[in-house]
Chain A
Amino acid sequence: MSAAAPPRGWLLQTWGEEAVAFDAASGDTHYLAPFTRLLFETCRDHPGLTTAEITALLRARLDGAPDTDFHTAIDEGLASLQRIGLLNAP
């Protein structure tokens, strides 16, 4: 899958593990929970990876055991990031 760096026209601000993002074109403001934020940054720092590769990276970073919840969280996180437009859809 392909993921882009924050599209032009977005502003991003992080505090601790959380972040807020602003889409200048639509005027929408979004809250990124810690996991979603981490997911976004991982995609942004490693463009062009597949979902499996992203999953592996995150698993290593979070020291977690791979389970269905983890995979679901990643799928949902990616879907919501695409929905709001922070990531391009594959």
Chain B
Amino acid sequence: MKLLQLPPAELRRQLASSGLWLRTGPFSLRVRSRIPSVAEGLAQLYGQFEVRSPHEAFADFHVSVNPPSGLRRWVRPQVCFAFDDMPPFKPLPYDQAFPMLEWGLNWCVSTQAHQYLIIHAGAVEKNGRAAILPAPPGSGKSTLTAALMLSGWRLLSDELTLIDRKTGLIHALPRPVSLKNASIDLIRAFSKDAVLNRPSHDTIKGTVAHLRPLRESVLRQHEPARPGWVIFPRWQAGAATTLAPRSRAQTFMYLAENAFNYSHLGSEGFRTGCALIDRVDCHDFTYSRLDEAITVFDRLAERRGT
């Protein structure tokens, strides 16, 4: 059953009591929350994801997003994320409850799921090959990922690219894409298929909203993808669209330094990273116009596909 088939009252009831069982990519969740914006966000953005009976026995991650007990419930109210009753972060302002769920779920995956090499990158797929977009801050990675998804590419992930250690394939986790500040309006204007939830303001990253993954991306979430490219995007006002080759060895070093769990995997991490770099083309990509960027990516996909 899909989440959109749950009546809203039932969704809220499950969240507020024993928890909502939800599957996202390879991971099953049990989510508890009494906060309305969390229920709203889930209803708006997770409609295509699978839910099961609240009595479903096993879940990979038991999480909750709730106000902390004590004074801060009433005075400048806060919200707390917990992973099986353990809070990995300090509380945030109440308004940020939904983004906190997203950040918390990312934390769960990146600290636990060592069956994958987990790269801090977006990933999209077309014609059977995936482009991995690593994400230095300010690269505009999420904006580009969102635009590609809205232009016929399958969303594999926005934040966490999961490389299966045994097969080298990318396992999709097509959860909502997080957009900040100016990107929010930009993507809204980019496509009529763009559905975003209510923004949260004054977060550590500015104003944040999340974009619903397209139905097609979610339907195919259990289909792993073959890596084709690692492309470092950089948005620069007024820049010409340029795709330049990049050193494989240096790309490897970047991944080793920026993957969440590279150091936890030891030799396995090195081997998985090398196998990945062996099978991809590495590029630096500069752009200022989304439409031109899409064209370049589409051309890459066409060439690979033939």
- Whether B267 lies near A20 (C-beta < 8 A) is no
Q: How far is the CB of B170 from chain A (nearest CB, A)?
A: 20
- A4-18 contact mask (Cβ, 8 Å, vs B): 1 or 0: 000000010111101
- Whether A31 lies near B270 (C-beta < 8 A) is no
Task: Give every chain A residue within 8 A of B248 (Cβ-Cβ).
Answer: 15-16, 18
> How far apart sit A19 and B256, CA to CA, in the bound complex (Å)?
14
CB interface residues, A 1-46, toward B, < 8 Å: 11, 13-16, 18-20, 22, 24, 27, 29, 31-32
- Contact A31/B253 with A15-B277, A20-B274 known, Cβ cut-off 8 Å: yes
> How far apart sit A22 and B249, CA to CA, in the bound complex (Å)?
13
Q: How far is the CB of B271 from chain A (nearest CB, A)?
A: 7
Say if the beta carbon of B69 comes within 8 Å of chain A. no
- Counted as pairs of residues, one from A and one from B, with CB atoms less than 8 Å apart, the total is 42
Task: Give every chain B residue within 8 A of A32 (Cβ-Cβ).
Answer: 249
Say if the beta carbon of B263 comes within 8 Å of chain A. yes
> How many residues in A have their beta carbons less than 8 Å from beta carbons of B?
14
Q: Which chain B residue shows the least CB distance to A11?
A: B270
CB interface residues, B 220-271, toward A, < 8 Å: 247-250, 252-253, 256, 262-263, 266-267, 270-271
> How many residues in B have their beta carbons less than 8 Å from beta carbons of A?
16
> How far apart sit A31 and B274, CA to CA, in the bound complex (Å)?
13
- Whether A20 lies near B266 (C-beta < 8 A) is no
Q: Which chain A residue shows the least CB distance to B275?
A: A13
Q: Which chain A residue shows the least CB distance to B253?
A: A31
> How far apart sit A20 and B252, CA to CA, in the bound complex (Å)?
8
- Contact A31/B263 with A11-B270, A11-B271 known, Cβ cut-off 8 Å: no
- Whether B253 lies near A20 (C-beta < 8 A) is yes
Q: How far is the CB of B37 from chain A (nearest CB, A)?
A: 42
> How far apart sit A20 and B250, CA to CA, in the bound complex (Å)?
9
> How far apart sit A76 and B85, CA to CA, in the bound complex (Å)?
53
Task: Give every chain B residue within 8 A of A19 (Cβ-Cβ).
Answer: 249
Set B249, B250, B266, B271: member contacting A27, Cβ < 8 A:
B266
Query: Chain A interface (Cβ within 8 Å of chain B)?
Result: 11, 13-16, 18-20, 22, 24, 27, 29, 31-32
Additional A-B contacts beyond A15-B247, A20-B274, A31-B253 (4; CB < 8 A): A13-B270, A24-B267, A29-B253, A31-B249
